[in-house]
Chains A and B, each alone.
Chain A
């Protein structure tokens, strides 16, 4: 397994800390003119999602984490697991609730996701940045009201709730930004 020195630290680097894989969120070089140098980092535990501060003495080395992002296609959920397929090798794998997390709200047929693998097992699932979904339920639309800028909650088939403009109707297809969970536009 490779090791990284503090001078190789950068955002996104995957390292092992306390037995768990972590991703470096940010890092800062700290050094008094005449004194010891340190690297202060914020790291995200890829298992729990928790972000903590961690300071290293310059020159320390840490083990790299065997973490890989792969592009996979979502197939279906059996209620307990979410099943994905590698579109090139057709290899399939199942991710549990902890790995899928909030991504479950955006998983629709054949959505192309980033699946983060740790030692070959799914650790996290990142949905596509944009998805298109049909509104299952929302209050009746106010026709012609495109100017007031008001919003109302709309329920999706997956269980996601998105704030949509007042003129949007039940059964309409909309585009959503999964990173913010916000409505983007109507899909004709």
Chain B
């Protein structure tokens, strides 16, 4: 762009200096070229401005949450009201129901439900409590119930959100490594072309056809990769913008780029691959009972069980029993509920003389034996089989009789297997991380179609797995939320912290998902890829454009002295002036035409790299060769019609 600015200035000066010796048509031509050179500059800035404005709009909505907050600061036991901006790290504030949290911080006392919709868009409140992994709160969110004391971890203005807002705005955007490399190539190319045009004048003089500066500058501006030069930063800003639309904030453009490069994804089982809770999927009745009887007993034993597992047993039982189920549950007045405890490892209900129990196989078996009964062989077999297939068996008993087994299973999310298959075709390995034992983990891994899994994973396991992958050259992306995830998040090339996670996790990662949805890692990877594809496609397009521009300008430049060059004028452009002007106009307009594409990004399809390449190459490579021929010819026709000579 600098070359264009200098070139335009130079052309203008030269034109003014030689204006007296020129004919009217030459003057009209020179003025038009100079005007269009100015337009080129304007359009180039335009692209960046639009991208930044879109970012700013996003940022403004994020920031609106943060205006004019009052913090109730605890000073030596008493409470003072101060503006949120004056808070310092380590200060403690008290926030009660209905108030807005003034800063990023950690809950040090109390528990509260918090509305984080201002930053996540999710209206369901979340629980924040002192200690543990759910202690982090974000400034700008609203406390709905109870009262908490928050210790300030970030000075306002430097908070995580604040930093990301700046990034979204493009204010402190740094060039990513790939952008830097591309810029080096583009400036090198511009330099060669500058030399090529500058040395053309001596050759032209030797051939007795000296050129005016305006024409030379026009040629230069058309040849140097102005298109991609103008759109490069817009593409980068738009990439971050697309992430924000997904409710993901990145600390740097570098991270977005790295996301496109990742070849190993570490995914938490819970929430990403499975729905997160084990669910009852099947009943295995014992030798002396029926499925109906078992279902009824399971229902009774679970009516009072409010855990997700319990609810899923109720649902499944009702499905099997049909209408009868509703009747049973209504008679719960004289029922005595036996809650689950870590020592008994079972729960149930006593109704009069009848005792219903469900729980871990060995515990319930023991209870049956104590009551003078035995566990039948069919139930024992079911327990072993379910356990070895990675599920959780629950034995159901009525008094001293074993009624059968409930099969609890981690249910893999619908469609996740096909998504992993897509990832595989893109060359990305998926690795499931879970606290389950290896047997359970292997079963789920197989069902979900991941490439590898880490069972009974500790934070150290994750860290060493990431290091191992990186040593073999892979780039690793992962999600995490706990403080103990922080080292792994920091080590990973792309670490996506959940917004619900701790402050430490957020600081360690280089992206934060405001929705706290671990599945989003897959989208992040696609956005990264799309960013790179857009950049590559437009670069190819920009360079390929040069061919047509040469065929427009070179014959025009030398036609007067060498009429034999006419065959090179393959577009049959009307005359030298229309030809050069058409090329300059095309060069300026193509920038505007490509702005929407740069902002939207080239369409990304999750197929093999070969087919992506073939597609983009034919559109942007071959298209980049052909389109300017058509475009320049069209502009030439228009110019001829309006009578440019």
Mutual binders A and B: no
